[in-house]
Structure 1
Amino acid sequence: MLNVKSLSLGPVQTNCYIVSNKQKECLIFDPGEESERIIKEVRKSNLNPLAIFLTHTHFDHIGAVDDIRKTFNLPLFVHEKEVSWLSDPSKNGSAKYAELPNYIVGLPEKEHIIRNEQIFEIKDFIFKAVFTPGHSPGSVSYIFENDGFAIVGDTLFEGSIGRTDLIGGSMEVLLKSIHEKLLILPEDTIIYPGHGDYTTPGVEMEMNPFLHGF
């Protein structure tokens, strides 16, 4: 049984997820900001981090990547379509906001670029990376089917969906991703979004106004 710890970080309260097992190993998803809080949580819980995974590379999801990666010597996994966004503030969105620094993150090693939908088996963490573009062209959702949850970034929220007015965004593509990749999951699957509270496919199919009439 895996444990999911959520930390809401940074100026827009982005959810970072620390997924751990009984052996005190963990994976870190979307370390968006406040690296000191993430490091403190990992050390307080006596966890051994194995890797960082990104759902996408908007600035609020990548701000702590380099600090976390260097502190724990971790590989970074990211979709191939957004590798260049890590070091390009005009793409990752930080250039739009004068009050923010330009977010420039070091590129991952070539072998850690996600090019195809695939099953990851890292120790006893078994999950599938599925492509859910629309909010951004390289958005990835991570489905932990055996454990009944999914980490979906800014694709689907409680009662809402991701914005599509940023670079590479598309409402049509986003809705297709949600219906074909997320709403097909068991209705009680816990959906962990990039912001806000968790939800389930069952709740969203019934209550989410953006999904009706697709």
Structure 2
Amino acid sequence: MEWVQLPLGPMQTNAYILYNDRQECLVIDPGEEPEKIKKFISKKELKPIAILLTHAHFDHIGALEAIRSHYKIDVYMHIQEKSWLQDPDKNGSGLFQGITPITASPAENLWEREETSQIGNFRFELMHTPGHSPGSISFYFRESSLLISGDVLFQGSIGRTDLPGGDMGILMKSIKKLLTLDADTYVLPGHGPVTTLADENRQNPFLQ
């Protein structure tokens, strides 16, 4: 499996495209700039099979509808945020002056529990990691030693908890759960550069 990180929009939210030797790909957190996402997919001659959301904040869903409709693929997310796509106040786009309210149609698939999931030829573990938002999910691709953490854990930082549904105590419990994974696991965060669990456990000032 290969992957690319695409920082999108003014908040430089990281979308990820994971692809395999069958040319299938998953699109994770299409935050903005759908043409940039489509350009990479076209260049690599990939076939998108699903959109996965780590959570439903506005900066992670801005290009969702454009990508879903263009490729006619389903969206997967956690059930606790099932109404957020349709509600600008819940997804945060209605809370900040100067941001155009963002809405999208409901997700076709809702995860309710932690489990091992398979979409196409991609197999991964769902880890419910709330605290930044109630329905935050981290996707763990064990065979590839990859963890897509959304806005839970960053290089040298952690997710904010001052938005609706945020909770610092719950967030820290979620991060501790992530730290039980193999230390060499690469962390692909929602913003900023890639890191590893070992580096964050050793150097992240919020975890000391």
SS for the counterpart of 1:94 is coil
- When the two structures are superposed, what TM-score results if normalisation uses the length of structure 2? 0.98
**Within 5 Å, which residues of 2 pair with 1:18-29?**
18-29=17-28
Aligned counterparts of 2:162 and 2:65: Cα–Cα separation in 1: 27
Aligned to 2:203: 207
Query: 1:114 — aligned with what?
Result: 111
**Kept in 1: contact 2:124–2:141 (CA 8 A):** yes
Residue 123 of structure 1 and its aligned partner are, at CA, apart by: 2.7
Over residues 149-184 of structure 1, what are the superposed CA-to-partner deviations in whole Å (9 max), with x where a residue is unaligned?
01110000000000001000000000000002x101
Separation of aligned partners in 1, 2:162 and 2:119: 35
- The yes-or-no answer on 1:123 pairing with 2:125 is no
What residue is the counterpart of 1:184 in the other structure? 180
Structure 1 gaps, min length 5 = none
Structure 1 residue 124, shift from structure 2 partner: 2.1
Runs of 4+ aligned residues of structure 1 deviating over 2 Å after TM superposition are none
Structure 2 unaligned regions, length at least 5: none
> What is the CA–CA distance in structure 1 between the aligned matches of 2:23 and 2:42, rounded to whole Å?
11
Identity of aligned residues (%): 48
The alignment yields a C-alpha RMSD, in angstroms, of: 0.7
Does the 8 Å CA contact 2:52/2:76 hold for their aligned counterparts?
yes
Equivalent runs, 1:41-60 vs 2, <5 Å: 41-60=40-59
1:164 counterpart = 2:128:
no
1:83: Cα distance to partner?
1.0
Tell me which moved more, 76-85 or 118-127. 118-127
Q: Which residue of 2 aligns with 1:141?
A: 138
Offset from partner CA, 1:174-200 (integer Å, 9 cap, x none): 0000002x1011111000000000111
**d(CA) in 1 for partners of 2:179, 2:174:** 9
In structure 1, C-alpha distance between the alignment counterparts of 2:114 and 2:73, rounded to whole Å: 21
For 1:86 and 1:123, how far apart are their aligned partners in 2? 24
The alignment's TM-score, normalised by the length of structure 1, stands at 0.95
The total of aligned residue pairs comes to: 208
How big is the shift at 1:116? 1.1
Q: Whole-Å Cα distance in 1 between the matches of residues 120 and 33 of structure 2? A: 27
Cα offset, 1:108, TM superposition? 1.5
Secondary structure class of the residue paired with 2:192? coil
C-alpha displacement of 1:122? 2.1
1:97 Cα deviation after fit: 2.1
Which secondary structure state, in structure 2, belongs to the residue aligned with residue 108 of structure 1? coil
